[in-house]
Amino acid sequence: MTGLPLSVRGVAARLGGRQVLDGVDLTLAPGSLTAIIGPNGAGKTTLMRVMAGLVRPAAGTVLLGERLLASLPARERARAIAYLPQGGSVAWPLPAADVVALGRVPHGGGPATGRTDPAVSRAMRATDSEAFADRPVTALSGGERARVLLARALAVEAPVLICDEPVAALDPRHQLAVMGVLADEARRGRAVAVVMHDLALAARYADRVAILASGKLVAAGTPQAVLTPAILADVFGVHALHEERPDGLLVLPWRPLAPGSV
């Protein structure tokens, strides 16, 4: 199943008595990879959790296609939206292939049947994690485990894929490969959101970039429109190098700006 937009309209969220999101409007469109960026504590994870139906917004609506996300049965929601949490850990020493097979639970599969499911092998191949199939996931390195957990999310083969910092722990080659896989998922018609701090990868792979700061959406559009020197200085307090290349925009944070110079 592909081709469902996920949108939030006027979303606000409060956590521990603090306003964490305020009036956020954002649509994840089928066929598009949206990079969600912003300073630490801006509300990116909270927004992704709202979009995945894991945090109930204090105000506003979350729509999957034309339907209110909150009105969907849990299994239908789990088939529609695959969610990779930030810095995922696994408590049990399950073989990696069984962890990936958990992505098939919303479809009636799981570890018992999962290893024969083509979606599981496709996801492990895409993340270069086939070599770990039989190893306990708790005995993998941080980057190896991150690839297995991404494979679990890919194995859902959901129309909406939300990944919270999928490349933070990966070496450069796997960062590029994983962003390429996520861009391919978008090309196949899925709506893909990726929370990330790497501005170079966001510029290189995203169709759209959305910037959150202090719980508000401060900019959204193409990388060229959003990752401008002025916006990066204002939001992150950094000077970044920019170069328009034939194959995309190169953005490289270069030095912090002195406080008060923004």
Ligand X SMILES: Nc1ncnc2c1ncn2[C@@H]1O[C@H](COP(=O)(O)OP(=O)(O)OP(=O)(O)O)[C@@H](O)[C@H]1O
Q: What are the residues binding ligand X (CB under 6 A)? A: 15-16, 18, 20, 38, 40-46
14 vs 135 by CB, closer to ligand X: 14
Q: How far apart are the first and last CA of the chain?
A: 46
Tokens of 120: 């599981």
The span from the CA of 7 to the CA of 117, in Å, is: 31
Nearest approach, Cβ of 150 to ligand X (angstroms)?
17
**What amino acid is encoded at 121 in this protein?**
S
39 vs 111 by CB, closer to ligand X: 39
Nearest approach, Cβ of 197 to ligand X (angstroms)?
7
40 vs 261 by CB, closer to ligand X: 40
Cβ-closest residue to ligand X? 16
Nearest approach, Cβ of 241 to ligand X (angstroms)?
22
Nearest approach, Cβ of 61 to ligand X (angstroms)?
19
Classify each residue of 179-209 as buried b or exposed e, where b means 16 or more C-beta atoms within 10 Å of its C-beta. bebbbebbeeebbbbbbbbbbbbbbbbbbbb
Q: How many Cα atoms are found within 13 Å in the side-chain-facing hemisphere of 96?
A: 26
138 vs 214 by CB, closer to ligand X: 214
